[in-house]
Structure 1
């Protein structure tokens, strides 16, 4: 069989010289670590012309029967920790043969590239080989366990009754590719299959053919959504950590641990230029004789919990030396947060038409929470019919 392994049988142990295990344990060649002394097993990626992610050690069947072919290629196989990692190469297209199928139930076999090392595993063989590990037949069969120092290449489903005489294995549907790639430390793994294979160290990268991902110690995270990155539109329905940002239809949002909030709260503004009257001494939130709605400015509290509220109008009083005022009521849903007050109001005290406004701070708001600022009006007396026109409420985040 044209399977060869470097650093396996070409040297002998000596008391003073470099042993084969010494060589395998040394950080030489294609070695991506996944432990202090261990290396990530895998196939060396690449293909002629660069068209495919990897063509090496591909398992396929072309003809009816019980034989599959494994394409040439190179790999690294980690043995037991004290043994180190084995560089392995298959130099020619090689056939592997499967046992006939069970009479009643299907089974799942594994094609593996395996290293036998008598010096390390206590066996009586020292060679690298291709093997077919035969699974146990069953109504819902499971593949066999993968031995130490083995690299799974493919999972093959062998139907009940399969044999050369019955047409063999239906290769088009029977083979499931199990190959994973490995590269030198610091290199980017080629992994278009998005396997659940864990990374070897935080900061390792892999290319899934659609996204660059980074291993953060527990999972592969796509680079655009990694810490400090801005997730692209439609990439995340929920945030992955508090303080994460995403682009949502051109607006920058921040994940607060529960919901997405505007990263930079914008100003809220409500305006109406349909005039109306107010002659009540208590605060009311609408004026009479107007078609315009009550002014409601809806805003999200910034991280400071403080905003600046500005109210204004163009108006006059019905009687000289009386006043008409406009302020705002602040609510969180139906809960009153701040009531209107004369010290937070724009005032006219003349029959002459005048434009007035005032700005006042509101503090102690809950960051990321939605509030409303609702227009409020009052008059100094019931016989004073104050006029309000061009009314507006504006709320600005105070950061």
Structure 2
């Protein structure tokens, strides 16, 4: 047996079943229901093409929630299993689902007690949708089966047919890993989930997920470590990461930040010669080097800072600030008092 359920068989549950299956208290959804899902660790229930119409499902552990009266079933798949799809419909595409399903004769009409990896076949339609799951079923993968697909004509293209539908769960008080199906309400005040770009905490009073930690109160800063080569004239040039490290931050819920750049710049090659210290942004927000965000000197030296306000950024997005420089003349030491030095770049988060 490769699919091993715990707390299902009236008799015959072995010590090995109990050791392998994830027995314990897991994330609640209501007073009596458990959030079903895959237990993170490695790549549980991975899908790999095993033939023209066959797919291999890798080992993994999960919880499968039945009805409220049934409770949740801990299940372990301790060795890969191969499932084979029926040929495609002659006219329309269909979407089948690979699921982890529990049969319990006390609660269904199948008169058997077992768990297995199962294909639940969808309807072939002009606009197909994934099938509705029976009770005590955990959706793992959706598979698009094209019209006319069969082993004799090349079968299913596994590189494009698979839809990852694994959602994750965790122990009570744990952080639910990022996965498919993150559009769900929290079950209790203080529940956490991982959004990939940071954590969110469920606020029961506000009835909403909120970024955690909340908007930082302390600014983030990066300082210039070395002079730029000043080997180009008339172009904005990024500092290397070694000369001035980039600054990456997560946009706060307000979508607004202050960015400050400061230092000393000088170019006395001619009375019209200029030097600039600037920054640009990339990632969830983009902005180029230029007069909107830099400090400059013309025909002399300036020691200054400039603070600008940026709003309308995407909350939770990752933004990287890259310092830059520009001189109009005096390339490679050929001018008088040409420098871009002692820089500091700071971001402050607006509540």
If the TM-score is normalised by the length of the shorter chain, which range does it land in? 0.5 to 0.7
* Structure 2 counterpart of 1:2: 2
SS at match of 2:138: strand
* Structure 2 counterpart of 1:249: 259
* Structure 2 counterpart of 1:127: 114
Residues 223, 229 of structure 1: 8 Å contact kept: no
Q: Distance in 2 between matches of 1:61 and 1:231?
A: 49
- Supply the RMSD in Å over aligned alpha carbons: 2.9
Aligned pairs (5 A) from 1:9-88: 9-11=9-11, 29-47=24-42, 55-63=43-51, 65-88=52-75
* Structure 1 counterpart of 2:150: 163
**Aligned-residue offset at 1:234:** 7.5
Matched, 1:141 2:128: yes
**Aligned-residue offset at 1:201:** 2.1
**Aligned-residue offset at 1:59:** 2.1
Q: Distance in 2 between matches of 1:192 and 1:231?
A: 31
Q: Distance in 2 between matches of 1:231 and 1:162?
A: 57
SS at match of 1:120: coil
Q: Which runs of 5+ in 1 are unaligned?
A: 13-22, 48-54, 240-245, 251-399
Residues 168, 179 of structure 2: 8 Å contact kept: no
Aligned pairs (5 A) from 1:135-284: 135-191=122-178, 195-217=182-204, 218-225=207-214, 235=251, 247-249=257-259
Describe the shift of the 1:231–1:10 C-alpha distance in structure 2 as closer, same or farther (beyond 3 A). farther
Describe the shift of the 1:73–1:66 C-alpha distance in structure 2 as closer, same or farther (beyond 3 A). same
- TM-score normalised to structure 2 length: 0.58
**Aligned-residue offset at 1:123:** 3.4
Residues 165, 181 of structure 2: 8 Å contact kept: no
Rg larger for: 1
Number of matched residues? 223
Cα deviation digits, residues 282-335 of structure 1 (max 9, x gap):
xxxxxxxxxxxxxxxxxxxxxxxxxxxxxxxxxxxxxxxxxxxxxxxxxxxxxx
* Structure 2 counterpart of 1:107: 94
- TM-score normalised to structure 1 length: 0.51
Q: Distance in 1 between matches of 2:219 and 2:92?
A: 48
Q: Distance in 1 between matches of 2:211 and 2:181?
A: 11
